[in-house]
Amino acid sequence: MALSDRLNQYQPYALTALRIMTGLQYIEHGTQKLFGFPAGGHADGPLPTLFLIQGILEAFGGLAIFLGLFTRPVAFILCGNMAVAYFMAHLPKNFFPVNNGGDAAILFCFVFLFLVFAGPGLLAIDNRRK
C-alpha cells in the first residue's frame, strides 16, 4: 500500500482537526475584541461599530466552526468577512501581507473557503442534523 493511500484514510480526522483548531483560533480573535481576553493591543472602552461586528463574527462564527454547526454557510460568510477585512484593514498599510499584518486574515480566508467545499469532517453537529 502506497504512503498516500495510507494517509488518505486519515483525511477525515485531519479535516476535523483543522476545523476545530481554526474555530478555536478565530474565537480567540473575537474574545480579544469583545472582552479584552486574551489581553492585546486593543483599547478599552466602547468599540467602533465595525470592530464590534467583527468581534461578534469572530467569536460566534468561530464557535460555530469549532462545533461544526452550519459549517458550510458560516465558513462562506467568514471567508468573505476575512477577504473584506484584509482589503480594508491590511492592504492599505503595505502590499506584502507579512509587512501589513494580514497574513492571518488571508490564511483564515482560505481555510474557511476550503471548509465551504470540504464540509465539517467528523465530530460535527452538522453530522447529527442530517
The grid coordinates listed for 28 are 480567540
Mean pLDDT is lowest, of 36-50, 74-88, 111-125, for 36-50
What pLDDT sits at residue 41? 67
Residue 59 lies in a domain: yes
Task: Round to whole Å and give the CA distance between 113 and 10.
Answer: 21
Average pLDDT taken over every residue of the chain: 93
Helix or strand run (H / E) with residue 19: helix 11-35
What pLDDT sits at residue 43? 57
Give the mean pLDDT of 81-91.
95
Give the residue among 80, 62, 70 at the shortest CA–CA distance from 20.
62
pTM equals 0.91
Beta carbons of 85 and 65 less than 8 angstroms apart? no
Tally of domains within the chain:
1
What pLDDT sits at residue 62? 98
Residue 9 has pLDDT above 90, yes or no: yes
Residue 4 lies in a domain: no
Q: What domain range is 86 assigned to?
A: 12-129
Residue 2 lies in a domain: no
Beta carbons of 4 and 97 less than 8 angstroms apart? no
Task: Round to whole Å and give the CA distance between 79 and 84.
Answer: 9
Give the mean pLDDT of 26-40.
91
The share of the chain scoring above pLDDT 90, in percent, equals: 85
Residue 20 lies in a domain: yes
Residue 91 lies in a domain: yes
